[in-house]
């Protein structure tokens, strides 16, 4: 699409997220309207949103039920100050969210997005050990290639250098380990690489001194690493290591939550229950900023007495009534229409079509669960060498073909809304293939 002089002037007065403005100007997108699986730019051209905004619109954009819930709430209250009150709909949201979280994860603190949820979980872990007689347990272990948010604590936990090196020194007390993908070429099977990666985490806990380690935080499926999808055994080994050393296991389900992986949370997909869960993105299907930190009830009890043990944390817009009304509508819709099952059905179809791209000779692997899928791109499947020019070209060709994906130079992710029909999935697959063929033509 073309930009006006005014657009260009105004784009010089702001920042896009995590990218140079010049790069955006080379491939601009100004959206005017969104509905269901579609986005329209200002020139009236429409794009198939195969990534739900950015892993957000699980029910598509502007789902009627979510819009109606917010409209009704707008007639009652749009703000209640969390410092001296809580809104009735926030209490309803707490009840609703805790009704769909795994087992003992019943304590809910609502926030306005993913970074806030992660930041709170990190502070919760440190404060928890401080007031249960183990103040020396403060270190946080996370993984390279991860992303947990943009704020200082969440950034320190993140393991993607290009997103944090500019702000160093980072907050102290954060350590990194490698995800299983880092070892995959050193082992004959993915299962062995996962076993090794999990044992390496326990080695770090032991060598740091378990009495100094508070938490291990990870995304069950790692997005910025290219939809890293470990084995169930990996999570079982990490759960056992955390139990052995009294380290809190935090799942960052900001991308994986809300039915995408075939269950409400990836914790259930992988059969492991964490101690803390961070959610965001899909929780409001993009209608309004919303997130939450969820904890095992018995951990939260350490904050109830004596009075000075209260959680010393909060945000003005957290638990906002309009956002909570949207969150309830999203959860009700997922449950009523059994969208977890739908994620499995649509995901199987999409995966089959993505596997078909292997005939182009530049796809190493299709990864993920349910409708959260990723495709790793390589120069050729003999050397498996990376071909970043291909991903860069794909960014341009996908837009020209009218499809929105999450594209990294060496992989791309797809995560269509769960309201998609089988026909929509076919169209997504078709547009992806055409875009990839165009990109291959571009790079020669």
Ligand X SMILES: Cc1ncc(COP(=O)(O)O)c(C=O)c1O
Residues that bind ligand X (CB under 6 A): 113-115, 118, 147-150, 219, 223, 252, 254-255, 280
Residues 6+ apart with CB under 8 A from 341: 262
Measured in whole angstroms, the distance separating CA 425 from the mean position of its chain's CA atoms is 21
Tell me, letter by letter, the H, E, C secondary structure of 226-292.
Answer: CCECCCHHHHHHHHHHHHHHCCEEEEECCCCCCCCCCCCCHHHHCCCCCCEEEECHHHHCCCCCCEE
Nearer to ligand X by Cβ, of 15 and 310: the residue is 15
Least CB distance from residue 6 to ligand X, whole Å?
28
Least CB distance from residue 307 to ligand X, whole Å?
31
- The residue whose Cβ lies closest to ligand X is 114
What token pair was written down for 230? 């470990």
DSSP 325-378: HHHHHHHHHHHHTTHHHHHHHHHHHHHHHHHGGGGGS-EEEEEEETTEEEEEE-
Whose tokens are 């009534």? That residue is 321
Least CB distance from residue 441 to ligand X, whole Å?
31
- Sheet of 31-35: strand order equals 31-35, 38-41, 46-49, 403-404
Least CB distance from residue 226 to ligand X, whole Å?
13
Give the number of C-alpha atoms closer than 13 A to the C-alpha of residue 380, restricted to the C-beta side: 3
Least CB distance from residue 75 to ligand X, whole Å?
28
> How far is Cα 438 from Cα 397, in angstroms, rounded to an integer?
6
Q: Beta strand pairing status for 174-177 and 31-35? A: unpaired
> How far is Cα 244 from Cα 10, in angstroms, rounded to an integer?
54
Nearer to ligand X by Cβ, of 286 and 417: the residue is 286
Least CB distance from residue 120 to ligand X, whole Å?
12
Nearer to ligand X by Cβ, of 127 and 415: the residue is 415
Nearer to ligand X by Cβ, of 219 and 268: the residue is 219
Q: What is the DSSP letter of 171?
A: P
Least CB distance from residue 283 to ligand X, whole Å?
10
Nearer to ligand X by Cβ, of 73 and 256: the residue is 256
- Three-class DSSP category at 314: coil
Least CB distance from residue 112 to ligand X, whole Å?
8
CB atoms within 10 A of CB 144: 17
What token pair was written down for 312? 């010393």
Least CB distance from residue 201 to ligand X, whole Å?
18
Least CB distance from residue 263 to ligand X, whole Å?
17
- Nearest Cα to Cα of residue 222 among 268, 161, 159, 154: 159
What token pair was written down for 83? 């410092």
What token pair was written down for 341? 């099952």
Whose tokens are 């290219």? That residue is 226
């Amino acid at each position: 699409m073309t930009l006006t002089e005014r657009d260009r002037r105004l784009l010089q007065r702001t920042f896009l997220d995590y990218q140079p403005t010049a790069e955006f100007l080379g491939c601009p997108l100004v959206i005017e309207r969104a509905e269901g699986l579609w986005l329209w730019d200002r020139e009236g051209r429409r794009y198939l949103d195969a990534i739900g905004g950015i892993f957000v619109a699980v029910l598509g954009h502007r789902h009627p039920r979510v819009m109606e819930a917010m409209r009704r709430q707008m007639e009652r209250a749009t703000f209640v100050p969390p410092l001296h009150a809580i809104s009735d709909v926030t209490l309803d949201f707490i009840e609703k969210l805790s009704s769909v979280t795994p087992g003992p994860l019943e304590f809910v603190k609502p926030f306005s997005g993913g970074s806030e949820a992660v930041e709170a979980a990190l502070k919760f872990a440190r404060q928890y050990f401080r007031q249960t007689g183990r103040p020396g347990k403060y270190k946080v272990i996370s993984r390279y290639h991860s992303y947990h948010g943009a704020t200082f604590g969440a950034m320190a936990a993140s393991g993607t250098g290009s997103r944090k090196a500019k702000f160093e020194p980072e907050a102290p007390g954060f350590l990194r380990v490698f995800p299983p993908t880092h070892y995959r070429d050193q082992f004959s099977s993915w299962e062995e690489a996962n076993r090794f990666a999990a044992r390496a985490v326990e080695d770090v806990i032991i060598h740091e001194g378990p009495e100094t380690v508070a938490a291990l935080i990870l995304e069950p499926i790692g997005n910025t690493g290219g939809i890293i999808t470990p084995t169930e055994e990996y999570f079982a080994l990490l759960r056992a290591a955390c139990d052995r050393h009294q380290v809190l296991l935090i799942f960052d389900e900001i991308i994986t939550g809300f039915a995408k992986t075939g269950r409400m949370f990836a914790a259930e997909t992988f059969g492991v229950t964490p101690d803390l869960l961070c959610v965001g993105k899909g929780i409001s299907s993009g209608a309004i900023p919303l997130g939450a930190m969820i904890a095992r009830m018995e951990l939260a009890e350490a904050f109830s007495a004596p009075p000075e043990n209260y959680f010393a944390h909060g945000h003005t817009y957290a638990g906002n009534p309009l956002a909570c009304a949207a969150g309830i509508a999203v959860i009700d819709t997922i449950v009523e229409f059994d969208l977890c099952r739908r994620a499995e059905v649509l995901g199987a179809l999409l995966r089959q079509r993505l596997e078909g791209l292997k005939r182009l000779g530049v796809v190493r692997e299709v990864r993920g669960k349910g409708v959260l899928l990723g495709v790793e791109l390589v120069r050729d499947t003999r050397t498996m060498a990376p071909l970043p020019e291909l991903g860069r070209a794909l960014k341009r060709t996908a837009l020209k073909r009218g499809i929105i994906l999450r594209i990294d130079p060496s992989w791309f992710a797809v995560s269509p809304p769960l309201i998609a029909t089988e026909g929509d999935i076919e169209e997504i697959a078709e547009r992806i293939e055409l875009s990839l063929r165009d990109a291959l033509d571009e790079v020669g």
